[in-house]
């Protein structure tokens, strides 16, 4: 579990005077980059090494509007790893009140630069062990 703090930017608001819903999908990405960073995987290094992580699915449930001037905390957990696919859950909370604003999940796989699926257990053992450990810890 890693908590990522974020202050909405003005350009992320829309004319409803709230953060546009599409931006939460981007925040989820920021939160998982922060998660990986916290557990020792630099996303940029991984791509430089020829491993990309496309998004397979994403979903979000919007519970409470977030506005410019608010600060949110995004709690990210690994909630899936089956040897092939891996996933995260996200909880966006208002930092001041603790109120839940949005929840979501995303799932991913690993590809090499040729677009071939990488099986972490065989070809990316560090990641296999890390995901196994994160999944166990985050389920506690």
Can you tell me the distance from the alpha carbon of 106 to that of 104, in angstroms, rounded to the nearest whole number?
7
Q: Which of 89, 81, 78, 77 is nearest to 119 (CA)?
A: 81
- With respect to a copy of itself, which residue has the nearer C-beta, 33 or 80? 33
Q: How far is the CB of 101 from a copy of itself (least distance, A)?
A: 12
Can residue 69 be called a binding residue for a copy of itself (CB under 8 A)?
Answer: yes
Can residue 98 be called a binding residue for a copy of itself (CB under 8 A)?
Answer: no
CB atoms within 10 A of CB 67: 12
The site for a copy of itself, by CB under 8 A, has a size of 38
- With respect to a copy of itself, which residue has the nearer C-beta, 21 or 121? 21
Q: How far is the CB of 136 from a copy of itself (least distance, A)?
A: 27
Q: Rule CB under 8 A: choose which of 3, 4, 29, 98 binds a copy of itself.
A: 29
123 burial (CB, 10 Å; 0-12 / 13-18 / 19+) is: middle
SS3 86: strand
Q: Rule CB under 8 A: choose which of 62, 73, 100, 123 binds a copy of itself.
A: 62
**DSSP conformation class of 10:** G
N-to-C CA span, the chain: 10
Binding residues for a copy of itself (CB under 8 A): 9-11, 13-18, 20-23, 25-26, 29-30, 33, 42-45, 47-48, 52, 54-62, 65, 67-69
């Amino acid at each position: 579990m890693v908590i990522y703090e974020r202050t909405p930017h003005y350009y992320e608001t829309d004319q409803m005077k709230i953060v546009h819903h599409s931006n939460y999908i981007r925040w989820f990405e920021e939160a998982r980059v922060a998660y990986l960073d916290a557990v020792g995987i630099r996303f940029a290094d991984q791509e430089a090494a020829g491993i990309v992580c496309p998004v397979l699915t994403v979903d979000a449930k919007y519970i409470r509007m977030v506005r410019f001037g608010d600060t949110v905390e995004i709690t990210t957990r690994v909630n899936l790893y089956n040897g092939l696919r891996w996933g995260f859950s996200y909880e966006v909370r208002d930092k001041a009140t603790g109120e839940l604003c949005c929840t979501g999940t995303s799932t991913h796989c690993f590809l090499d630069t040729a677009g071939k699926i990488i099986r972490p257990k065989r070809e990316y053992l560090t990641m296999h062990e890390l995901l196994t450990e994160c999944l166990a810890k985050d389920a506690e």
